[in-house]
Structure 1
Amino acid sequence: MCLPPTGLAAGPLAPWIMWQLWISRNSLCFSDKHITEEETISRALKMAKEWTDAQEKKATPQQKKYLREPSPPNCSVLRADAAWRASSQQAGFGWTIKRQDVVVASFSTGSSVGSALTAEAMAMRQAIQEARILGHKRLVCEADSLQLVKALNGGEVPLEIYGIVADIFVSSVYFDVIAFGWIPRDLNADADALAKQGLVEGTLMAST
């Protein structure tokens, strides 16, 4: 069963579920009291939200990782994009990383994906993971999907990309600075071309 949006994209939920399962188990074993699955999940969500809210209140400006300003100084610029074909449910992902306006890394690949927004989110997730492997510590992440950028900057997270956004936040902890910004499609031409290349290659692989 899919959970509804909980507002916990930046925090873990699994530990609280496990904790409440243990409490429910003890209640049944030692008090002969049965706690339903729905109540167990509700308690886990409540405790996770309370804990997350408490961490946000304690956070100092120096601890803040998810900057809304997309142009902090001395950062590598990552631009990601996706191309999606509804008829085949195939997508291509492409991204570039620039330092001082010089491309230092680029990548393209393809995969089966259920929607265009999911493809955009998966492209960003993979790009950030690759940037981490390459050792970049200060990163500005740009995309031409306004809906994705809003979700990454603390806005409403569509259910279809909830897990992907959570993965991105987990990966983002590695960086000293990370920011997410929107750019027009014409400024994202390099990543767009790589995404279309990945779409073609992925479609060819799927058909063989």
Structure 2
Amino acid sequence: MVHRHIAKDKSCSRCGAEAETVNHLLFTCPYARLIWAVANVHIPPPGSWSDSFYSKLHWVLNLKQEYPKEQVEEDLTPWIMWRLWKNRNELLFRSKEYTAQMYVEKARDDARVWKSREEVKLKEVKPPAAAIPERRWTPPPQGKLKCNTDATWMQETEVGGVGWVLRDHNGDMLWAGAKRLPDMGSVHETEMEALRWAIRTLAGFGYRNVTFESDSQVLVRMLNNEEEIWPRVKPMIQAISSSPSGMEKVEVAYYPRSGNKIAHRIAKETTMFTSIVPKLYYIVTSGLLSCMEADKSFVEQ
């Protein structure tokens, strides 16, 4: 900040004891040292960090070589440094602070999200054995309704947006919802909030027989006990799994993005919202008309 002539004080924005260098911010600040300790990252054998920034960086990036038999979260290292920098900016510009445990959990969430994206990329790189046709939206059986949900999330600002749409067996829209969400920890949390809000809203409207679809495989696997539930999202998973009063058992199925285009479009539009006030629609908006008609034409076939 001083180098950019924005501030005059060079001291650390947290401890105030030393000049705020990259070395101090990531390693020697008492807050940073507490974070590394909570994350179970060992300091070098002499019991203190070296004065060299590059020596510290080499140490934390090569923990497995030093402690091959211990459970060391080496993959967490880049995300701890990312969070230290990000949380310094949040403290400076937004006066937001986190406990050390909350901080480490956020870093773990970042690592999980990255890993899940990398797994998807690896699957996409593998050449398919045969061409897989695009899966289009399919209507529910007569007498039932279907609600599709989706979410968007920006890591830089931690602002998310959710969208959902309820349709009958003819493909006609009954209701749709959109909402902008600040302070969301990950894309998966935002996907869960999209589903939770849709369930609660439709239950409040008196709908009882609704099937829900999401294009988040992680979310659906957690709900179906096919994947370990992350501690941070456990309350949200429990809220989704417990059916609201009057509504039949909540059924949530995975459906690919190609069959979830309308909910995806609604969620994307929330990036333009300037308010966090939820929006509900019972008339198809002009922006959704072409997508809605495309799905209905498929139903009529």
TM-score, length-scaled by structure 1: 0.60
Matches within 5 A, 1:149-160: 149-155=220-226, 156-160=228-232
1:170 to partner: Cα distance: 2.4
Corresponding residue number in structure 2 for 1:109: 179
1:161 to partner: Cα distance: 1.5
- Go from structure 1 to structure 2 and tell me whether the alpha carbon gap of 1:121 and 1:135 turns closer, same or farther (over 3 Å shift): same
Distance 2:253 2:142 in 1: 14
SS of residue paired to 1:114: coil
Matches within 5 A, 1:118-137: 118-137=189-208
Distance 2:263 2:193 in 1: 14
Corresponding residue number in structure 2 for 1:57: none
Aligned residue pairs total 134
Residue 139 of structure 1 contacts residue 177 of structure 1 at CA under 8 Å; is this kept in 2?
no
1:160 to partner: Cα distance: 2.5
Q: Does 1:193 align with 2:268?
A: no
1:186 to partner: Cα distance: 1.3
Matches within 5 A, 1:158-169: 158-169=230-241
Q: Quick one: which amino acid aligns to residue 90 of structure 1?
A: V
Superposed CA offset, 1:149-190 (max 9, x none): 111123322223211111112244532243110001011111
Distance 2:199 2:162 in 1: 12
Distance 1:137 1:178 in 2: 9
Q: Quick one: which amino acid aligns to residue 116 of structure 1?
A: V
Corresponding residue number in structure 1 for 2:216: 145
1:96 to partner: Cα distance: 0.4
Q: Quick one: which amino acid aligns to residue 225 of structure 2?
A: G
- Report the identity percentage: 23
- Go from structure 1 to structure 2 and tell me whether the alpha carbon gap of 1:160 and 1:126 turns closer, same or farther (over 3 Å shift): same
Distance 1:145 1:105 in 2: 21
Residue 243 of structure 2 contacts residue 250 of structure 2 at CA under 8 Å; is this kept in 1?
no
Corresponding residue number in structure 2 for 1:75: 144
1:73 to partner: Cα distance: 6.5
Corresponding residue number in structure 2 for 1:14: none
Residue 82 of structure 1 contacts residue 123 of structure 1 at CA under 8 Å; is this kept in 2?
yes
SS of residue paired to 2:148: strand
Superposed CA offset, 1:56-112 (max 9, x none): xxxxxxxxxxxxxxx777321011000000011000000001111211000101112
Residue 97 of structure 1 contacts residue 104 of structure 1 at CA under 8 Å; is this kept in 2?
yes
Decide which of 71, 84, 89 is 2:153's aligned counterpart.
84
Distance 2:141 2:242 in 1: 21
Rg comparison, structure with higher value: 2
SS of residue paired to 2:265: helix
Distance 1:131 1:102 in 2: 16
TM-score, length-scaled by structure 2: 0.42
Distance 1:183 1:173 in 2: 26
Distance 1:110 1:188 in 2: 19
Segments of structure 2 that go 5 or more residues without pairing to the other structure are: 1-139, 277-301
Segments of structure 1 that go 5 or more residues without pairing to the other structure are: 1-70
Corresponding residue number in structure 2 for 1:58: none
Distance 2:221 2:185 in 1: 20
Q: Quick one: which amino acid aligns to residue 190 of structure 2?
A: A
